[in-house]
Structure 1
Amino acid sequence: MNRRSFLAGGAGLAIAGVGAAFFVLRGMGSMEEYNASIAATRAALRQAPETNDLIRYATLAANSHNTQPWRFRISAGNIEILPDMARQIGIVDPDNHHLFASLGCAAENLAIACGARGRPGALRFNPAENGSIIFATGGEVPAEPMLFNAIPQRQSTRGDFDGKPVSTADLRSLVTAAAMPGVDLVLLTDRPQIERVRDLVLAGNSAQLADPAFLHELKAWLRFNPRQAMRAGDGLLSASSGNPSLPSWLGPMMFDLAFKAEAENEKYARQFASTAGVAVFVAHKDDRAHWVLAGRACQRFALQATALGLKHAFINQPVEVASLRPELATLVGLPGRRPDIVMRFGYGPSLPYSARRPVEAVLA
């Protein structure tokens, strides 16, 4: 969203009077209160957690629009991750591709957390009904403490990076960490290739922002101030994208006024100029089981990036706009395949973390 437009809205509130502004700001909550709540939730992960605490690690995974489209069913020795179809985002994700990739991200977090806490096991896709992922304990799987420690720190940072390149050794470690049978990872660090991805992102962004249904769906998942985000426990907090907080009644109106393709494309172009590289994940097959695998690989990449001090952000417009997929697939040398996930990465500052619902709310 355009910062100047939002700040203009804030100035209008100030004109309304100091007393009114006090009550508005109090109703919005403070970032200090919000950050303390998020930090307490993540710090509450126990040194020897029970199953619910392991599920908490799983829920810190990346997921589209922060919809958290998962439910967890616990049985003897197993934890099953089920799709929560009530949290579909049907305009941007009509075939539930992102939903199942998000389940893969959560499953990988769960497996890493269980392995680190002495409860190793294996993940498998269950195609029954809508499809689910089953984690079954047993076997000897090496613990991955570096990835485990990165779980509470990982975040999708939708801001500018500093433009510094990533070393060859760190790029190799990202590829190694993200290695997943059934998924190809293509890293782009050459500036002309990054700019070609940028052009696809801008084209996809323009197409999406010209669609009123897309804008309506996106707005439904925006949280315009800390209080709203804490109450919902989900969605995209405006401050996490570097935008100021606004009252819940004003935020949607300012969104309609300020969220325009030209301003958003200028922001994306600036962010690409500061990006060290782009990661594109392409599964071998276009089905739910492989969308899950792509999510698992993506999550491992994000955790390794976090451990290396890198930030990452999703730029999935060329995946979400179907007409752009063939050009992206050709760009990464995999013509005829469906790209699954696109991320940019680099060094940059932290932003506020997204909220998460309590574990009790995601148990089946």
Structure 2
Amino acid sequence: MKPTEPQTKLSRRSFLKVSGAALLLLSGGGLYRAVDQGVFSTSKGPAYEPWAIHAVNQADLSDKAPERLVHYAILASNAHNTQPWLFRVHADRIELYADLSKNIGTMDPYFREMNISLGCAIENLCLAAQAHGFEPNVKLLDGDIDQAKVATIDLSPSSPHSSPLFHMITKRHTHRGAYDSNKPVSVALLNEMSTLSDHASSAKLLLHTDQQMKEQLGSLIVQATEAIVHDADQARDSHRWYRHSQDDIHRFKDGTTLDATGNSTLVRVFGKMLSISEKSSNAYWLKSTKEVHIPTASAYGSIVLATRSKAQLLEAGRLWQRIHLWATSKGIALHPLNQVNERLDREQQMNLTPHFGDALRSIVGGHGEHVFLFRMGYARDQALPSPRRSADEVQLQ
């Protein structure tokens, strides 16, 4: 059965109602609040400058300072937009550290998502290094899972080589909105995506395109989202990264925002004008998962590992970043849906019945240990950027 297409068009009557409500909200003090909440300054201001200043041009690529590479590393995909990275830059190497203060608590008790996020930064850094005339040699440090120093990237002089993926770094954004259910990702592109796994890496990509498997995964994702919403600790730890006010966005320069949810302009305007509680935010997340994310997914992808060590989680991150950059170059939208893994980790932490753990093991079979899940499709509109801390703010002296 074909998934029901989400309702995206307003009737004339609904449009008039919405327009009238908008005028009421914007009248009097509402106009002041609209300005204060950034209704008229979407994706603008200090928190978004890192995306704008990295236009790829010859002057940029001629800058051989290793510090320049950090500017690209910070634009990597990362869990809950926590940006859990710190860099120490030397003349011939860059050291990467986990910023343990950015852990998501009960949403990531074993630092799975944190280390995957750090792997994404490594991939961006290596692509930037090659484009700027360095040959990167990555050494992953496979110590304790929460060890602060995670990698050293040695840099030796080389001929500049700009990968097509490098040029996608400033264009890549997570798209959390509806995808076009009438436009599936082609088999040829799925086959090309499946080749992105590095044969030397332990991280491997599995694609799920069978309708029965898609329905099974969709149901599992909804169940996991419901479980998180009804788990007071996880609900709190997830919501505390939501940045609603304009002041918070530009003060923290991290976290999730209403603009990055993939909603229509009208929904985002109303959302910014209203106060959003943890309960209402989580209820909306669950509703979007059920009515938008699952029904419009063209296919799903999983990243699996031989074992879930820190070094292999970093490799998983490198693979995810590579996949996302490649997909951006093909016009394919991607969206991590890691609720099932977040519940698996919670089951282990609390010694609960392994409902989600057993389900994931059944799905991947003997291919390895499941650590990451995402959906894909063709988006109907452009994804908006998330806030970013600047390169200067994440460098250690």
TM-score over 0.5 for the alignment?
yes
Q: 1:16 to 1:109 in 2, by over 3 A?
A: closer
Question: SS where residue 254 of structure 2 aligns?
Answer: coil
**2:189 matched residue in structure 1:** 170
CA distance in structure 2 between the partners assigned to 1:248 and 1:218 by the alignment: 19
Structure-to-structure mapping, 1:73-92, within 5 angstroms: 73-92=88-107
- Answer whether contact 1:38 1:353 (CA < 8 A) is retained: no
Q: 1:234 to 1:189 in 2, by over 3 A?
A: same
Amino acid of the residue matched to residue 320 of structure 2? C
- Verify: 1:257 aligned to 2:280, yes or no: yes
CA distance in structure 2 between the partners assigned to 1:161 and 1:239 by the alignment: 17
- Verify: 1:62 aligned to 2:88, yes or no: no
- Answer whether contact 2:119 2:314 (CA < 8 A) is retained: yes
Question: 1:224-268: per-residue Cα shift (whole Å, max 9, x none)?
Answer: 244532332111011211252568895343x4235328x724643
Q: 1:42 to 1:186 in 2, by over 3 A?
A: same
Q: 1:143 to 1:339 in 2, by over 3 A?
A: farther
Moved more, 63-72 or 214-223: 214-223
CA distance in structure 2 between the partners assigned to 1:11 and 1:51 by the alignment: 54
Amino acid of the residue matched to residue 307 of structure 2? K
Question: 1:46-78: per-residue Cα shift (whole Å, max 9, x none)?
Answer: 333433331111111111110000000112311
- Verify: 1:361 aligned to 2:397, yes or no: no
CA distance in structure 2 between the partners assigned to 1:292 and 1:252 by the alignment: 34
* RMSD of Structure 2 on Structure 1 (CA): 2.9
Structure-to-structure mapping, 1:178-327, within 5 angstroms: 178-179=197-198, 181-241=201-261, 242=263, 243-245=267-269, 250-253=274-277, 255-257=278-280, 259-260=282-283, 264-265=286-287, 267-322=289-344, 323=354, 324-327=356-359
TM-score, with structure 1 as normaliser: 0.88
User: How far is the alpha carbon of 1:167 from its aligned partner?
Assistant: 2.1
CA distance in structure 2 between the partners assigned to 1:101 and 1:258 by the alignment: 25
Structure-to-structure mapping, 1:3-22, within 5 angstroms: 18-22=27-31
Moved more, 305-314 or 33-42: 33-42
Q: Extract unaligned runs of 5+ from structure 1.
A: none
CA distance in structure 2 between the partners assigned to 1:9 and 1:357 by the alignment: 35
Q: 1:266 to 1:363 in 2, by over 3 A?
A: closer
CA distance in structure 2 between the partners assigned to 1:27 and 1:298 by the alignment: 36
Question: 1:78-114: per-residue Cα shift (whole Å, max 9, x none)?
Answer: 1111000111111100011110110000001100111
Amino acid of the residue matched to residue 141 of structure 2? N
Question: SS where residue 28 of structure 2 aligns?
Answer: helix
Question: SS where residue 165 of structure 1 aligns?
Answer: coil
User: How far is the alpha carbon of 1:36 from its aligned partner?
Assistant: 6.8
Question: SS where residue 333 of structure 1 aligns?
Answer: helix
- Answer whether contact 1:108 1:296 (CA < 8 A) is retained: yes
Q: 1:93 to 1:246 in 2, by over 3 A?
A: farther
Amino acid of the residue matched to residue 290 of structure 1? Q
CA distance in structure 2 between the partners assigned to 1:126 and 1:245 by the alignment: 45
Q: Which residue, out of 141, 154, 165, partners 1:147?
A: 165
CA distance in structure 1 between the partners assigned to 2:101 and 2:294 by the alignment: 34
CA distance in structure 2 between the partners assigned to 1:133 and 1:11 by the alignment: 55
Question: 1:273-320: per-residue Cα shift (whole Å, max 9, x none)?
Answer: 221211100111111111111111111111111111100001001111
- Answer whether contact 2:132 2:160 (CA < 8 A) is retained: no
Amino acid of the residue matched to residue 169 of structure 1? A
**1:332 matched residue in structure 2:** 364
- Answer whether contact 2:133 2:158 (CA < 8 A) is retained: no
Question: SS where residue 361 of structure 1 aligns?
Answer: helix
- Answer whether contact 1:34 1:227 (CA < 8 A) is retained: no
CA distance in structure 2 between the partners assigned to 1:333 and 1:256 by the alignment: 36
Q: 1:170 to 1:70 in 2, by over 3 A?
A: same
- Answer whether contact 2:185 2:377 (CA < 8 A) is retained: yes
User: How far is the alpha carbon of 1:156 from its aligned partner?
Assistant: 1.0
Q: 1:315 to 1:260 in 2, by over 3 A?
A: same
Q: 1:17 to 1:121 in 2, by over 3 A?
A: closer
- Answer whether contact 1:114 1:120 (CA < 8 A) is retained: yes
CA distance in structure 1 between the partners assigned to 2:186 and 2:22 by the alignment: 47
Amino acid of the residue matched to residue 137 of structure 1? L
Q: 1:131 to 1:268 in 2, by over 3 A?
A: farther
Q: Which residue, out of 377, 383, 387, partners 1:346?
A: 377
Q: Extract unaligned runs of 5+ from structure 2.
A: 1-7, 9-16, 55-59, 345-353
**2:174 matched residue in structure 1:** 156
Amino acid of the residue matched to residue 205 of structure 2? L
Question: SS where residue 386 of structure 2 aligns?
Answer: coil
CA distance in structure 1 between the partners assigned to 2:72 and 2:299 by the alignment: 27
Count of residues in Structure 1 that have an aligned counterpart in Structure 2: 356
- Answer whether contact 1:88 1:96 (CA < 8 A) is retained: yes
User: How far is the alpha carbon of 1:203 from its aligned partner?
Assistant: 1.0
CA distance in structure 2 between the partners assigned to 1:16 and 1:347 by the alignment: 33
Amino acid of the residue matched to residue 299 of structure 2? G
- Verify: 1:47 aligned to 2:61, yes or no: yes
Amino acid of the residue matched to residue 352 of structure 1? L
